[in-house]
Structure 1
């Protein structure tokens, strides 16, 4: 596999990771915080309705966790395609 085809496969897999992670973030931030807030507000976390918690703090926590997941995935991807220097 030459460098150009490796780079193309690398980029394609990178975009797939980004797509999945951004969908998860969208579902947590927009879905849990706005769309499903009425249902989630039936449950409480730390004394606050769960829908409110997701819109104020939960989406930020999930975003930070997704950053760490992305870094880990990219380190593995770099090693897989030989782009780790």
Structure 2
């Protein structure tokens, strides 16, 4: 499955697109510009995504990659 397919599935489930998750990450204190805020661990973000949106581990990690800037929309 491509990264974009993960994002499409996540949006279908949550109603949030990548920009919405970036805003969510900043609001939660996870994001800092282009990347994660200092000291933020992937596990904290995954837990929040599972609790708040009911995402599974793989989909939550896709959002972590998006917030880190490691992946972006359209990536394979």
TM-score under structure 1 length normalisation: 0.26
TM-score under structure 2 length normalisation: 0.28
Select the structure that is richer in strand. Answer: 1
Select the structure that is richer in helix. Answer: 1
Structure with higher RCO (Cα < 8 A, 6+ apart): 2
